[in-house]
Amino acid sequence: WYRRSLEVPPRSLGEGGGAYTFWLSARDASSGAVGGAGWVGSVHAPPLGGSLAVAPSDGLAMYTPFEMEAHGWHDDPDDLPLTYLFEHSAVEPISLDQASQPATAQAAATQYAPLADASSGRSLRAALPKGRGAHSTVLVRLTVCDAYGGCSAPAASPPIRVRSRRS
Report which of residues 136 and 118 the model is more confident about: 118
**pLDDT higher than 90, residue 129:** yes
Cis check: omega of the bond before 56, within 30 degrees of 0: yes
Res 144: pLDDT: 98
Between 19-33, 57-71, 115-129, the lowest mean confidence (pLDDT) is in 19-33
Name the average pLDDT for the chain. Answer: 86
Report which of residues 42 and 1 the model is more confident about: 42
**pLDDT higher than 70, residue 96:** no
Average pLDDT over residues 55-76: 96
**pLDDT higher than 60, residue 105:** no
Percent of the residues in the chain that have a pLDDT greater than 90, as a whole number: 56
Decide if 55 contacts 66 (C-beta within 8 A): yes
**pLDDT higher than 90, residue 62:** yes
SS3 for the chain is CCCCCCCCCCCCCCCCCCEEEEEEEEECCCCCCEEEEEEEEECCCCCECCEEEEECCEEECCCCCEEEEEECCECCHHHCCCEEEEEEEEECCCCHHHHCCCCHHHHHCCCCEECCCCECCCEEEECCCCCECCCCEEEEEEEEECCCCCECCCEECCCEEEECCCC
Decide if 140 contacts 108 (C-beta within 8 A): no
Split at pLDDT 50, 70, 90, the class of 42 is confident
